[in-house]
Chain A
């Protein structure tokens, strides 16, 4: 409603402005015309003098040509005595300002708009040519214009708000759709997506962004569900083993040696549980929303050297060549203990899947073009089948359990932990491998705390 009032007010203001504008423009137009015609008349007087008859005809013609605007023409001699004037010349017109005035001048009294010129040379010197028009004609024209404009303005004041309302409704309909769809979404029901109209405008972009966001949340929840399921399974296994051993042991009396044996088994299962729980907590901690990206300057090269020192003995025992090329210094913003886990897990993994006589290569360098530290562990072990590559970082994923050496335990969390730590540091990890062709894991960590990808 008040929309209409506003539009109406604006229309009236526009009309008033238009009237003043039109009046001004018409006046200007008239002035120009009067001036031109006055010059022409002045010339005619000079040329036709002293032929009174021809002059009168010329004057009458000029006056007649603009009769509908009430033009009148007047010729005065140097003593301001009328030589000739058209019939409609008003009697109450002001006398010329000055007898000696020769310039063209324009004056208006309240009823008339008058142009006058006093001739300056020749026989007609001192004669005054006057051409005028009553102001009411200008007003009449303006009023005519206004009368035709008023209905249009009135119609506009009604149509504009209505049209505006319809347009706004049309423009916000996708927004209302977005609101309706979003309202239907629940954490348990995230399969619905906002429709795209294919217009490629800002609203489509907004819908697209919201859809992306929903995809991420849905993906996160799906992974979370899977993770909890897997975690429950993995936690149950050692617990089941413990419970079963105890139940069986209590079935009948046994020798102290048997009991001792049972206790050793229990102790090992407990240790397995402890490691698993710690790893699950590590993952949960790294994933925690709001965990700040660690930024303490950390000597990455020293971490790699330390790990190499410790794992060298293992490689030697297993007859695996552990080669390395480590650039120094490489300092990254991060958390030393977490980065150590990345390095340890990757080297440990490579040694685990490399047969005797094989080779593991560890490289660390700075990629100045990308402004990041690149840590790479390459082995020529059994590799990972191409089709399983996308899943290697999935929690609890293990390529092939038959390759574990005796006494080695793995629960498929190591690489997930590595990935979560790398992402926490704003870095990225990639893997290249194929069955029988070894594997290369490459970690890129930003050298500055303000660059790199943010976690999704």
Chain B
């Protein structure tokens, strides 16, 4: 997957390029809006990471320009402002997803892969990964062929993990998924639910389907 990064901050840009390259995605880096718009038009990137605060042309202008030229490459917008209006404006102007700085790189990677998948395939009625199957319409979950009863919160967390199967899902992503925004209290509610999920999925401690990725979050393996 080819990724175009349009970002003026040198250290963020450098880290993103390194991150994407090491994750196996060839990456190009434009340091201002004009270069970004030119590269996006010339080269067919599979996904674009676009910072909204850019010298030259502001991010939103670049985004509008791309969409007007008929370039529908998935775009994930980076913004330092978390205000709802900014997110809405970004999405209205043709962004596929947004991420508020500071963010975890794994989350950016997960979101880029998700928007690429979303734009390339129809929404799924069932999610499956290895021994797990999750039916989104009947809300039935089976693991190793055995049906598992889940609470709404557990179901919702498992759905998120399976959508991002093979990738790391951070605690912040899980909080946003449950509450609709990034609320993270002092007590570790997420950990409690993940542990319950693990026990319900019926594997032993060293064989848990949901793995803890230390310092980053949780992950379940993608269907091999």
Contact = CB atoms under 8 A, between A and B. Distances in A.
Answer yes or no: do A and B interact. Answer: yes
Interface of A: 263-264, 267-268, 270, 274-275, 278, 281, 309-311, 313-314, 317, 336-337, 340-341, 344-345, 348-349, 351-352, 404-405, 407-410, 414
A309 B189 CA distance: 11
Contacts of A351: 187
B193 interface: yes
Closest 3 CB pairs of A and B: A348-B185, A267-B215, A264-B215
A314 B189 contact: yes
Contacts of A274: 102, 172
Interface of B: 82, 102, 151-153, 172, 178-189, 192-193, 195-196, 214-216
Given A344-B183, A407-B188, A313 B151 contact: yes
Contacts of B193: 310, 313
A336 B180 CA distance: 10
A351 B180 CA distance: 22
B186 A317 contact: no
A235 to B, nearest CB: 13
Contact of A348 (B151, B180, B187): B187
Given A278-B182, A407-B188, A310 B215 contact: no
A349 B186 CA distance: 8
Contact of A270 (B102, B153, B178): B102
B187 A313 contact: no
B196 A313 contact: yes
Given A268-B215, A344-B183, A345-B185, A309 B192 contact: no
24 contacts: A264-B215, A268-B215, A270-B102, A278-B82, A310-B153, A310-B178, A313-B151, A313-B193, A314-B189, A317-B192, A336-B180, A337-B180, A337-B181, A340-B180, A340-B183, A344-B179, A349-B186, A351-B187, A407-B188, A408-B187, A408-B188, A409-B186, A410-B186, A414-B186
B185 A309 contact: no
Given A348-B186, A349-B186, A408-B186, 8 more contacts: A270-B102, A275-B184, A278-B182, A310-B193, A337-B180, A340-B181, A408-B188, A409-B186
B104 to A, nearest CB: 8
A453 B185 CA distance: 28
Contacts of B102: 270, 274
Contacts of A309: 151-153
Contacts of A268: 215
A185 B216 CA distance: 53
Contacts of A263: 215
A316 B187 CA distance: 13
Contact of B179 (A267, A317, A340, A414): A340
B141 to A, nearest CB: 17
Contacts of A410: 186
Max chain B C-beta neighbours (<10 A), residue from A264, A310, A349: A310
A414 B185 contact: yes
Contact of B189 (A311, A349, A405): A311
Nearest to B84: A337
A274 B151 CA distance: 30
A332 B187 CA distance: 27
B198 to A, nearest CB: 13
Nearest to A314: B192
Contacts of A275: 184
A397 B220 CA distance: 39
B82 A264 contact: no
B189 A310 contact: yes
A348 B175 CA distance: 14
Contacts of B214: 264
A340 B182 CA distance: 11
B127 to A, nearest CB: 22
B57 to A, nearest CB: 27
A292 to B, nearest CB: 13
A361 to B, nearest CB: 18
Contacts of B181: 337, 340
Contacts of B152: 309
A17 B13 CA distance: 94
A405 B191 CA distance: 14
Nearest to B101: A274
Contacts of A408: 186-188
B202 to A, nearest CB: 18
Contacts of B153: 309-310, 313
Given A274-B102, A313-B193, A352 B186 contact: yes
A10 B138 CA distance: 95
B50 to A, nearest CB: 21
Nearest to A338: B181
A129 to B, nearest CB: 103
Max chain A C-beta neighbours (<10 A), residue from B153, B180, B188, B215: B215
B13 to A, nearest CB: 19
Nearest to B189: A314
Max chain A C-beta neighbours (<10 A), residue from B180, B182, B186, B215: B186
Contacts of A344: 179, 183, 185
Nearest to B184: A275
Contacts of B186: 348-349, 352, 404, 408-410, 414
Nearest to B196: A313
Nearest to A268: B215
A415 to B, nearest CB: 11
A51 B119 CA distance: 139
Nearest to A277: B102
Contacts of A348: 185-187, 189
A309 B156 CA distance: 12
A352 B187 contact: yes
A264 B215 CA distance: 5
Max chain A C-beta neighbours (<10 A), residue from B185, B192, B216: B185
Contacts of A340: 179-181, 183
A397 to B, nearest CB: 14
Contacts of A352: 186-187
A263 B188 CA distance: 22
A352 B179 CA distance: 19
